[in-house]
Structure formats: structure tokens, C-alpha cells
Amino acid sequence: MLVMTEEKFTKEELLARAHKPSADALRLHPFYKGKIQVVPKCSIWDFDAFGVWYTPGVAASCKAIKEDPAESYRQTNRANTIAVVSDGTRVLGLGDIGPAAGQPVMEGKALLFKYLGGVDAVPLSIDTKDPDEIIKFVKLIQPSFGGINLEDISKPKCYKVLETLRNDPEITIPVWHDDAQGTAAIVTAGVLGALKHVGKKLDEVKIALLGVGAANTRTAYVLHAAGAPFENMIMCDSKGIITKDRPDIVADKDYDSFKYDLAQKTNPEGITGDFGVALKGADVLISASKSEPGTIKKEWITYMAKDSIVFTCANPLPEIWPWDSKEAGARVVGTGRSDFPNQINNSLGFPGIFRGTLDVNASTITDEMCVEAARAIAKVAEKKGLRDDFVIPSMDDVEIFPYVASKVGMKAIEQGVARIILTEEEIYTLAKERIDEARSLTKSLMDNDFIKPPIE
């Protein structure tokens, strides 16, 4: 992780280091020819084993599922398998680059699911931009999966896809949009940790959000579910601060109903102007906007309240360099990158959230389950000792994922959306076993040279 101090690195050195992961990616992706593969999980004692795993023995399992569809969760790997579904229209900060170009991200997501959460994830980049076709695709593949992770789908289409599938009685597995619910959970975790550190309360602070896309839209709702009043929020898009009577928002209320809804609930004073105006007196800045340093002006940060918190989450580059935010007076600064302190990254949340969801066979993932995950992540950071450069843990903390899984699983049980009832200790133990197994498998493949060391 980079350290934002002049004593250790100059800004030029920090900038060079910030670009290094991209150079390494271009070198190592072709070397490994992708990031995931399929390996057996059953014993193959000799060739007679295939008579059990395939024909004729497998017919008995097929008949069992035919008699009781719930058996598919016991006779196959469905209970631990999800699909990562994307149309490639909103990939990272790159925009509409298409399904093939988005596939490296989907493979990366599958890798993180397995290594951090012990979840088997299949990346499926599909060649359509039609929301109705995406919905149909998910419905058609439902029998193979225990859950669906929607990824990098542009808004407002992503809202229609998510809400239609979540509310369809024919969909019996959880459907989740990581760019919305996942980002919201992690941002909320960071906000909770940072506010605890600076001694402020969620129900009292002013929160300014730049960007009214999938990420910040759901973040506003999850923050509200966690205790932040809508009237203490102010949101800004590329045209300026959103207000309940802004003509374009009113005209598009059926097209982007969530944006319209938030325009009615936030900014009760009807303040207008650019994001600099929105930041006046703000305690918290949350940006999910343009991936370009300079999108947020350094002087705007100076308008914020004392002990301000700045989370600029665009990838691959933040909307303002973290050292500029610090120089402008921000106390706590986080970005979406792993090479700066306080990474606000979905990888802290979705592995444990899905782990807990799958282990209790939940039918959905609610906002309250996301809030519970956020509180669990913030609690881990608090136990380790909060600092300006540490208000949220990093993904190398093995404690996070089974802990998040246990809290999410219990919330699912409490809300009545779980089909398996376990104790919190049982969920934690099961999650830890599965995560440890996934990590041990990877280590074994590396130790035995089936996964080669990376080229220099």
C-alpha cells in the first residue's frame, strides 16, 4: 500500500506507482491466459468413479431432483455456485466497452468470490443490451445457480433488471447488483468507521454525494437504512445538484424513478449549483463519478466541515488524488484503489455477504442485510484501532469474511428470507471452513507448480 507522506515518496513517485497495476495486468493476464479454471471437487479413485459421477449412476441423482427440486442444492454444487452476469455497458470507469472487453473484470470477480468467500462463481458476459433479454437470460439459467451477481450494467437499465428479478415470484434465488448494493455496503462501512474515528454521528452529519448512478443511488438508500436522514443528504450529477423540481429529472421520472425519488427526499432546502456548492459545510463526501483526477476540485474540499471525510471511489483513477484532498484539509481520505489507504472496495463485502446468503439458502439479499454487513466490517476496523489512514479493513484480513457471513446469515434468518436455520456460530464455522478450503486449494496448486510463479 502506498503511504501518502512527502518524507517517503514524492507525488511523481506516487503517481508512477498508481499506474503500475495496469502495466502488470497487461503483462500477466496473457501469461496465465485468464484467472480461473474448473477443477474437480469429487474423488476420482479410478475410472470406475465415472460410473458414479456420470452414467449410469448419475441418473439416480437426476431422479431425486425430479422428485424434489430442492435436492438440486444437495445433489449438485448449486448451493455454492453463482453466476456473474454482465452486458459490459458500465465496466469500472471505462463505460460501455462491450461483453468481451468486460470479461477480464468478470473473471476477476469470480476469482475474488472463490478466494475470499469460498464461493464458486461463473463469469457470464452476454451479448445483449436489452434489459428484457437480460432478465430472460437470468430466469433461464436459474436452475444452475444458487444466486446471481449482476455486474457492470449501465443505469437506469440496471434498476429495471434488479428490481424485476428481485420481485419476480418465479425467481427463488437471490439476485444482487454489486455495483449498487455491494458498493453501498462498503461505502456505508467506511462512513461508519470514519465517523466513529472523528467523533461524529451518522444521524447528524451532512453528506454530499457526487454521481447519481447505480452506486450512489443505492448508497443513499443503504445509508438511510443505517440511520442517515435523507434530509441531511445532497446529491449532484453532471448537470449540478439534484432538486425535486429540476425539469430534466421530472421529465425523466419514469425512465429513472430512483433518481426522481431521491430528488424528492434529499436537499430539502432546494439548493442549486455545482458540487462545490454541495460541499459547503459537508462532513462526508462520497463520489462515484468520472474516473479522472480533477473531476473534484481541490478548492472544493476546503469548503467542507472540520474533520471532513472524503471517499472518492471511481476506478481505475479517483476523482481527485488523495494527497490533494489531504492538503485541502480532509482528515480521512479513501479511494477505490488498493495502493492507497482506506480502500473503499466491494471486495470487502460481496464474498462474505454471498457466503452468508448461500449458507442459509436465502431467497434474497435485503438492504438490511447490507447494513448488517457494513456494521460488521466497521466493527472489525474498530477492534483493530481506528486511525486517519485506517477506518476500514483491507481484504487481506481473514477475519472479515466469515464474520460478515455470520452477521448477514443471521439477519436473513431474522427477516424470514432464509430456508436453512443455523446459529451464528454455525454460520461462522461453516463460512470459515469453506474460505480456508478455497485458500488452501490455491496454495496447494501454487506449491505444486500447477500455478506458475508470475513472470517478472
Alpha-carbon span 178 to 164, nearest angstrom: 16
Residues with a known catalytic role? 54, 109
- Cell numbers 430456508 correspond to 419
d(C-alpha 177, C-alpha 162), whole Å? 7
